[in-house]
Amino acid sequence: MSKLLCAFILLFNLSLLANTSGNYSEDIIKYTSNLPFETGTIKAPVFRDKNYNIKDFGALPDGHTLNTDPINNAIAKCSEDGGGTVIIPPGTWITGPISLKSNVNLHAENGALIIFSKDHKIYPIKKLPLKGYSVASPILGVNLENIALTGEGIYDGSGDAWRPVKKSKLTSSQWQSLTKSGGYVDNSTWYPSQDAFDGLKNIKKLKSNKGLTENDFIPYRESMRPYMTLLINCKNVLIDGITIQNSPMFALQPLQCQNVIFCNIKINNETWAQNGDGMDINSCDNVLIYKCTVNAGDDGICMKAGGGKKQSPVLTNIIIADCIVYHAHGGFVIGSESDGGIKNISVKNCNFMGTDIGLRFKSARDRGGLVENIFVDGVYMKDIIHEAVLFSFSYEQNLDENNNKPEKLPVFRNFNLNNIICNGAEHALLIDALAESPVKNIKITNSYFETLAGGDIYYADGIVFDNVKFNTKNDLLFTISQANNINLKNVTFSDNIKSLISLKGALTGSIKVTGTDVSKLTVPVIFAPEVNKNSIVIN
């Protein structure tokens, strides 16, 4: 065989495998270098250099033709042939649920608007791994390898046809307009239909029965809101550039997935979108998230550790950088499900603008587990409604449905929060843990908080503030109760502060204040009667 022919064959074979658009290798090196922990493999999937246009399978971009079969047929054909890219061109494409396949990059071009039908009957009930019986997600992938969603197209989940809406989240004119549109109202909550309301009352009882089939759940479909984009047990996943909006529930959830890259994604859910989380990363390994923008009706970028993996920790090696979260219940969130264990998360250079809480770490007695080695470096917040940093172990603890659950105490330890800048919040810090399980080894360094109040710490062991400035309105900076080993080093505060710390609880002790000028304070330390006055040392 001639050298020229060999070279031709080599080039031909290489052309069969083409990386998705963008130079991901450089980004991966950039974001995974110099981490405080070692990650496993993170790399972008590659695809055969072959395109399949959904128009060639009969799809019509006219805004009313249902294109479920043409889109899914194009994906299936592409996968059967060995993979490649399925093209969704510009236009308005109405569709039912899309089933992803291995070795397929679904590429929605700029100008493509994919609207998922509001006809719930075309969303079948499926028995999904780890999820049980569920309504098929608008975008679903199960047990796949080498998959991608790319391009600058928009996926609209028609979530307004699925979600309940609370009156308290709308203006009066918005509420009047919503109720006039139809639906059913109960106790100041609007439901898309009475079937959606009735289904919620009975679906939990149904799920406790054995020997059920898909048909048993059909009467309750209106209340079984699907996740917008659900990926279960998938490997080598890339989502780049797309917009996901108006989701029935969470916009994007990978569950037990490995080697995942999310970049340049835009998520837009209304502030009143019930359970309208942005990204919920559940029980995954080796995930890189960067340059994403999130507006959410619930948590923004959230880490969860549920889903049935046996070996703890089930969520490991997560890197988040250069992201923006606007409205959300929390900008970066851990929990509430932490029972499977969470380890090794890095968050760098992110902006949170107007979120309810900035850094939100939550769990409860019935859903706790070990969460450790969390590194946050460079989070810049503005106009946070409540706490800039929150640790809470009482999330939904008093709900009736949780009363009979076995106790699984949360254990949160080894959090390093550096360069946290907050311009506007109610509290700089609130730690509300448990007597049986205080949070441990939390360091906040080189940070600035411009807030109404400083910090409240309940049940903690090993909290360090080092080179932190507080510009607050209240005249008391810290309340510390039932906490030990609290160290304030080089802390500065605004002139209106009259007392540095109020100490409460008989178990409070080993408080150290160094490099902090308390000479101008009216009463530097306020002692509750039960607190030993030798529990604090000020140097």
| Amino acid at the residue 436 | E
As a 3-state breakdown, the chain gives helix, strand, coil percent values, each rounded to 5, of 15, 45, 40
pLDDT digits (tens, 9 = 90+) for 324-364: 999 999 999 999 999 999 999 999 999 999 999 999 999 99
The three-state secondary structure class of 408 is: coil
Q: Is the peptide bond before 248 cis (omega within 30 degrees of 0)?
A: no
Residue 507 has pLDDT above 90, yes or no: yes
Angle, CA 212 vertex, CA 207 and CA 213 arms, to 5° = 120
User: In the prediction, which pLDDT does 397 show?
Assistant: 57
Query: Residue 262: how many CA atoms within 13 Å on its side-chain side?
Result: 31
Q: Is the pLDDT of residue 8 over 50?
A: no
Q: Name the band, by pLDDT with cuts 50, 70 and 90, for residue 408.
A: confident
In DSSP terms, 165 is beta-bridged to: 190
Query: According to the model, what pLDDT value does residue 310 have?
Result: 65
* Alpha carbon separation from 331 to 35, 159, 200, 359 (Å, rounded): 21, 22, 29, 6
The answer to whether 89 touches 109, Cβ cutoff 8 Å, is: yes
Percent of the chain with pLDDT over 90: 88
Q: What is the mean pLDDT of residues 64-75?
A: 98
Over the chain, what is the mean pLDDT?
93
Q: Are the C-beta atoms of 257 and 237 separated by less than 8 Å? A: yes
Contact 114, 93 (CB under 8 A): yes
pLDDT tens sequence across 269-310: 999 999 999 999 999 999 999 999 999 999 999 999 986 666
In degrees, rounded to 5, the angle at the alpha carbon of residue 537 between the alpha carbons of residues 533 and 539 is: 145
E strands in 248-337: 252-255, 258-263, 266-268, 279-282, 285-290, 293-295, 301-304, 315-321, 324-325, 330-334
Six token digits for residue 496: 């209106």
Tens of pLDDT, residues 416-442: 999 999 999 999 999 999 999 999 999
Question: Cα separation of 470 and 455, whole Å?
Answer: 10
Three-state SS letters, 313-343: CCEEEEEEECCEECCCCEEEEECCCCCCCEE
Pairing relationship of beta strands 235-240 and 258-263 according to DSSP bridges: parallel
pLDDT greater than 70 at residue 5:
no
Over range 246-264, report the average pLDDT: 98
Does residue 422 come out as left (phi exceeding 0), alpha (psi in the -120 to 50 range) or beta?
Answer: beta
Distance from C-alpha of 318 to C-alpha of 310, rounded to nearest angstrom:
19
CB 171 within 8 A of CB 261: no
| Domain-wise residue ranges, the chain | 164-211
User: What per-residue string of b and e applies to 161-173 under the rule 16 or more CB within 10 Å gives b?
Assistant: bbbbbebeebeee
**Region for 398 from its dihedrals, namely left if φ exceeds 0, alpha if ψ lies in -120 to 50, beta otherwise:** alpha
pLDDT tier, 20 (very low <50, low <70, confident <90, very high otherwise): very low
Please report the pLDDT score of residue 400 as a whole number. 46
> Which tokens go with 191?
């439901």
Q: Determine the Cα–Cα distance for residues 156 and 116; give it in Å rounded to an integer.
A: 6
Q: What is the pLDDT of residue 395?
A: 82
Count the helices and strands in the chain (H runs, E runs).
6, 44
**How do beta strands 145-151 and 235-240 pair?**
parallel
